[in-house]
Structure formats: C-alpha cells, structure tokens
Amino acid sequence: MCMYSAESNPASPFVGALTDYHIAHLGQFALKGAGLVFVEAQAVQPNGRISPHDAGLWQEGTDSEQFKGLQRVVQFSHSQGAKVAVQLAHAGRKASVLPPWVAAQAGKPSLRAEESVFGWPKDVVGPSGGEENIWDPAEGRFWAPRALSTAEIKEVVQAFAKSAELAVKAGVDVIEIHAAHGYLLNQFLSPATNKRTDEYGGSFENRVRIVREVATAVRAVIPNGMPVFLRISATDWLEGQPVAAESGSWDLESSLRLVEILPELGIDLVDVSSGGGHKDQKIKLSPGYQVDLAGELRKAIRKAGASTLVGGVGLITEAEQAQSIVQGADEAQQAEAIVTAKADVVLLARQFMREPEWVINTAKKLGVKVTHPHQFWRAL
C-alpha cells in the first residue's frame, strides 16, 4: 500500500526515500509476525511515481538516500525475523496525481499534480499517447500521456533491472514486478490500453514483450535462486463493455496464456489481483472476490505440471477464510485439499493496516503456536 509519505521535492537528495515513518509502519508488521513484509511500490524512474510523494529506487549507488532508506527498513525487519519483498513499479499514465486524501478532501476520486507541487504533467507516459488515452478524462483527474518511444521502453526495462540490483544490495529477499492495476506494464498487456503497432503492440506476443524483457533483465542481475514474483491483473473486468468489443481486453484467458510462459522467465510466484486498467471496469466487490481467479490460474499451472506458486489477494480479512484458500475446503482428504486450494499464500494489505497484529490474532483463532516478541511476553 503506497503511503504517499516520501519527500516530493526533486531538488532534495531525500526525494522518494523511505523515512522513519516507513520504518515504523512496515516494522510493526515484522514485529508482530508477518512472514514477508512488502515495501510499498518503488518507482524505477522519477516519472514512474503515482504521486510526487511516492517512494522510489532510481538513484544510483549505495550512498543515495533512497538506498539507505530501504536498507534501514530491511535491517529492522530482518532483526524481527521477517523477510522483505520490494515491489518495483512504474505508474505510466496514472502518474503525477496528488495523494488520495488530498483528492478526497476536495471531493474528488483523483486530482492531477501540477508542476507547482512537483508534478510532471509533460512527462506522463504510456504505451499510447494523446487525450484519448487519459486514464479518466473527467476534468482535472489525470494527465494525457505521451507514447513511449522504443528507445524509452528499453530504458524502462533497464530501470527495473537497476532498481532490482540496488534492492538486492540493500538486503531485500524477494523482488516483485508490478504488472497490475493499470500501471505501465499492465497498460502494455491490455489491448484496451495498448494501441501500438510496433513490436510492443498488437498481438498477445507483442503486448507481453515488455513483461518478458523486464523479467529477463531482473533475473539477470539478482542472485540465482532469489524469488521473483509477478503481480498481474487477472482480468480488466471489461467483459460486455464497449471498449472490449472495440479493441478487446485483458481477461482470464489472457492470464492463463501468460502463466504458461512464467517458468521460462524465472517467475516463482504470480500475485493475482485484478482491474485498475480502465475507467469502464465493472467489479463486484465481495470477500475474497479475486480468489477464484487465482484458483483458476493455480489449477491450470498444476495441470501443466509447472511449479509456479500462486498468491491470493483481495478482501481477505478472516482467519478461517485465509485457511480455506491455502488448504482447500476438505482437510480430511489431503490430496483433494491440494487440488481445491486456490492459492499457495495469502497476501493482505488493508487488513494489516486495520489490524497490525493479524498474524497473532489468526494464530489464536486457528490454534497455531507462534513465537511472540520477547518484549511482549509479559502481556501474554
């Protein structure tokens, strides 16, 4: 979850760097039992931030404030027994907006960040450009992107690799490539947002090319055996919408095709989210509403004999709910449970913000013994 709490002034050496706030925020999850703590999205380029206040990892060298801020979060989390994942991202056409609470105070779902507040309206980018490719054309919400050149796409690919290399040096345990929620890589994947006619647009193979190149570049600069996750939107939720009839959309069938190539790209886990790519999406929210999508992908992966793991996410809030997702509905027959399980891990965001001690509370509900911090023993 982006906290929109980093320095925004590009003239400051601390721009995009994690702060004491992030140590307190992320550290509480490590302290209270989370096995893997995700650092919020780290923009791989300055214009890849969602807002000027986003975190980033584009400054070169291990003496940069961005590197040192990440390293401090990693070191504290490790001291509490947690592993750390960093999510590498580029916002694409959804960039240069104000923090959500600023927009909310103005009664808007989103507001553009002007140059006066360190936004970059002239450098918002996407696979396709022009007014017709604004994420949401309602007045004042988002900027019109410009189309990336082929050379710039190559620069984006290398930016992901450079950020991954820095993350490894900072001690991070897992790299996640963010290709979901309508951000840049997701924009390339979906024909609803990718109108290119070169080698990065058109066919499925061309639209997934950038993800293939990013994954390959990242894998090439990190240690062998280090886990790499890929976060995807399993569907655009555009079925039945005019845009899908006109240009097509990214749907579950597209994701099924994508997971087939993940082993050759060195992707160890697919983190299955959905939506975020188009203003006309129609999502029916309900507890675990994305878990069935994860289950379909996991079933196909297992049927193919592949070892790619699957992460389930989306309104997972309760202990028994999480247990059923990873163990299957029928625990009495273990073989069947493996088949009916819908994910190999569960991923939580908002619920941890509501309930930082979710792991401890869940362990109590399920009768699982966990180790508490020594400092907390007097409260048990």
DSSP SS3 for 297? helix
Q: Are 273 and 224 in contact (CB under 8 A)?
A: no
Q: Three-class SS of residue 14? A: coil
For 24, 226, 314, 334, 357, the CA distances from 49, given in Å and listed in that order, are 22, 26, 23, 44, 30
Cα separation of the two ends of the chain: 30
Closest CA to 207 of 223, 219, 194: 194
Cα separation, 172 vs 40, whole angstroms: 13
- Positions marked catalytic: 183
Tokens read off for 312: 């389930």
Q: Angle between the 65-79 and 150-169 helix axes, to the nearest 10 degrees?
A: 40
Residue 246: its H or E element: helix 242-247
Interhelix angle 319-327/358-366, nearest 10 degrees:
70
